[in-house]
Each structure stands twice: as structure tokens, then as C-alpha cells.
Structure 1
Amino acid sequence: MDNDAAKGTARERLAERRAREDRRARRRRTLGIAVGAVAVLAVVGAAATTVLVRGGGEAAAPQGETAPLTRQPDGSVVMARPGVIAPVLEIYEDFQCPACKAMEDATGATIKQLAAEGEVKVVYRPFSLFRALPEPISGNSLRALNASLCAPADKWLAYHDRLFAEQGPETARGFENADLIAWGRQVGITGGDFASCVTGGARKAQIDQANDHAARNGVRSTPWLALDGRKLERDAVYTPGGLREAVERAAR
């Protein structure tokens, strides 16, 4: 092999080696970009999930204990941290109302959490919207409301939640006295006073007060949530993010 041929072969080998090195370098860069992209997507995905949870996709479970509860003379129940007097969220609901159950499922935990955080004073005002309707709806509504008024304040919230969990169809007789008493025992309401209060319809006077209060305040449907006296729109009733935003706006 002459010198020119040898030099040409050496140059070709060098060029080929450089080409292989360039290809390997490009592959490493491509792999690095892909890994980085996956990492970025993971971060973005986590951020998106956080926004979803905070912004209204899911109700956040209340952390720790709920705010203290006290029953008022008119039968309403206040849930608030000591010293929290505003803003005031009033909740008008009927235990036989399917839309009220839907609201409880969607934002009930958020309401409890906001009160526990000291962000709002909550006043539960259950009443019997369906009292004038035919049976079995009217009877279901009245029996459940009477039982809720019989429940002691420290067990009332658990009983309230249980009533909505046990809500049956509007077309069937439900909230039977025996069941109402049994559910009370299951949430820690013991003693004969509760049972006799339920079976005797002992809270008729407070039922009348609750119904009159709702009528005076223009409540025409349930659920009806009023924040500092102003009825909340649907987004604030049925989405955790919307409700929290409304409360924060009222506080400002």
C-alpha cells in the first residue's frame, strides 16, 4: 500500500470514529432531554393535581376536631371557634331534600373545615320545606327534623350527617322513628330521653320556629346557603373551591 492510500484509509477511519462519537453524543443528549421532559411533566402533573384539589375538584377532609357546636333557643346549631363572629354562613336544609344531600356530599367537609380553621361562623338551620307536600314526603321531612332537634349539641353534627347518609327516595316512607332512634345510638346518643323525644314529636314548637324563620328570610328552596345574609350562587354551594373563595371574599 502506498503512502497516499494509507493516508486515505487513516482519514476514513478517523472520520468514521468521529461520526460514531457524534452519534453517541446525540443519543446521550436526546436521552437527557427526554428524562428532563418526564421530570417536568411529573412536576406539572403534581401541580395540576394540587390545583384541582384546592380549586374545587374534591372536597378536602377536615383536619382534626371540628369547631365547637352550640344549640340556640330556636333550635338552630352554631358551629364556630370561640370568638369567631363573622362572616356568618347560614345553611337552610331539609333532611328529605335530595339536593341537600348532594350539597352535603360535595361541600359538607369543606364547611366543617372552614369552621374548624376559624374562617367562618356556621349556623345550621334545618327546617321542613316539604311539610305541605303529600305523604310520604311531608312525614319523612318532619320526623327527621324533629329527631335532629332532639339530638344533643355535642352529637348533633354526627347525627346530621347520618340522616343525610340514610336519606331514602322521596316516593317511599322513610325516617321511621325506630330507625331514627337506632341511628342516634350508633352516633353515641344514649338514654331514654332521646327516644321519647323522637317518638313523641316533642319539638313541634321549634319546628314551627324554624319554618317561620325560613319564611321570614325568603327561603324558597333547599339547600339555601346565605353568607352574611346574601344567598350564595350554585358554584359556591356545590364546589369546595367556590365556597372557600366566597368565604374568603366575605372576610376581606
Structure 2
Amino acid sequence: MGQARSSGSSDRTKVIAGIVVVAVLAVAVIGYVIYEQMTPSTSGTDAIPLAPADHTISAPAVREGGTVLVGKDTATLTVDVYEDFLCPICGTFEKTYGTDIKKAVEDGKVKIRYNILPMLNRLSSPEGYSTDSANAALCVADDGKFNAFHAALFTKQPEEGEAGYTKDQLIKLGKEVGVTSATFESCVRNQTYKSQLDELMSKTSNDPALRDPESGRFRGTPSVAAGGKLVDLDNKNWLADLTK
């Protein structure tokens, strides 16, 4: 009798152990799948996934020099947003406020002037992704497709210190969002707007209205300004307050 109970207990232990192993493996597989979905391809050829439609602003987008103005002509308030496509906090900013910005723009309450800065070039490997992506965004804006491109690059960002998306991938994304211009590919490959982006970076860095009062330097990305003054992003209702 004692041996029978011992054998049953041993069998149950083996079954339980087996279930635990399967559960651990399942969690590991799920975790890996999520990681793969959140991590950009480093192959240099895979397509960058498009952002969901509800993450993409539906409003005119026009390049103005090194910036892109998004919104309806009837909007009387213009807000400047300063971002870098490599900046992880900018990604958080877009996830936190993107829906509110989209609604405010589409409702005609505000225009957003996107200042996409080549600020973090040294933090990609190889260096230069900030310029490549910002330049590509301006090339896309020439064809009126900036909004979908902008949303895609923030939905699935490269990580700081890792490889950014290649020019081939950026070109492929541009075509995915509907760019048809014959000069688009050369615009991306030749960094057509690099000088304008460098000028924008210099102008932004030296703008007294964008300096941190403590350090005296540019606040960094993401930053938001309206009426010549920095917006306090610690105030979660900043956009609602601006559009009252």
C-alpha cells in the first residue's frame, strides 16, 4: 500500500513538473513573439509596418522648409512639436498624446508644425539614422504623405544604440504610404534636405524660447511650444488648455 501511494505521488509530481515546463516554455514563446513585434527589423530589407489608421492624422500636411505643417487652413492656433525619430521619449509622447493631437487637428482646432530634428545621430549604429529618417520624412511630405510615415516610424521605433532603419527600408515605407514621386528615392538616398535639417537643428538649439531655464540649453526632444513659449508637458492637459 505504501509503495502504491509513493508511485502515485511520484507520477503526480512528474505530471505537475511537466505542466510547469510547458507553461514556462509558453511564456517564453509569447515573450519572444512580443519582443519581435516591438523590435524593428535589422535585416535592412524587411518592410516597416504601417501604423493603425486610428494612429494616423487625416489632415493636409505640407513641407515648409525643414518642417512640416499638419492641419486645416481654418485652424487659428499653431503648435510646434520638436521630435527625433530615434528618441524613445518622443515615442512615449506620441503614444500618450497622439490620439488627442489627431482629434484636435482633425476638428480644426490646431495645426501642428513638426520639427523633426537630426539630434541623436551619434546614438544609432551605424550613426546617422536621425538625419536619414528626418530627411526621408521631408521627402515624403513633398508628396503629401507625411502623416502615415510619421506615425509608422513612431509606432515601431529602433532602439538607441542599435541599428536604425536603412534608406532602403525608409524608401519602401514611403511607397507603402502612397508616395509616387519619381524623385522620391533620390531625395532619400542623396539626403536632399540635410542642410535644411542642420539649419533647423542650429536654429532650435539657439532659440531662447526653447531653453531650459536651469541649464540654459535647448530642452531637448520631445518639446512643445506655442505662442513663442515652451509648453509644460508635466501638465497632462496641455493640449486641452491650449485649445480652450
Under TM normalisation by the shorter chain, which class is it?
A: 0.5 to 0.7
1:107-150, Cα deviation, whole Å (9 max, x unpaired): 1121121122121221111111224x355274111111111111
CA distance in 2, matches of 1:143, 1:176: 8
1:41-89, Cα deviation, whole Å (9 max, x unpaired): xxxxxxxxxxxxxxxxxxxx589x73322221x2211122223232x21
State the percentage of identical aligned residues. 29
Aligned match of 1:67:
59
SS in 1 for 2:186: helix
CA distance in 2, matches of 1:66, 1:75: 21
CA distance in 2, matches of 1:246, 1:93: 21
Aligned match of 1:220:
219
Which protein shows a greater Rg? 1
- When residues 171 and 135 of structure 1 are mapped into structure 2, their CA distance, relative to the original with a 3 A threshold, is closer
- When residues 191 and 78 of structure 1 are mapped into structure 2, their CA distance, relative to the original with a 3 A threshold, is closer
Flag the structure with higher helix content. 1
Q: Which runs of 5+ in 2 are unaligned?
A: 1-53, 211-217
Aligned match of 1:149:
138
Aligned match of 2:186:
196
TM-score (norm 2): 0.67
Q: Which runs of 5+ in 1 are unaligned?
A: 1-60
Amino acid at match of 1:67: A
Corresponding pairs, count: 181
- 2:196 matches 1:206: yes
Amino acid at match of 1:179: Q
Aligned match of 2:86:
96
CA contact (8 A) 2:124 2:164 kept: no
Aligned match of 1:247:
242
Aligned match of 2:102:
112
Aligned match of 2:170:
180
CA contact (8 A) 1:93 1:224 kept: yes
TM-score (norm 1): 0.65
CA contact (8 A) 1:62 1:110 kept: no
CA distance in 2, matches of 1:99, 1:134: 14
Aligned match of 1:139:
128
1:24-46, Cα deviation, whole Å (9 max, x unpaired): xxxxxxxxxxxxxxxxxxxxxxx
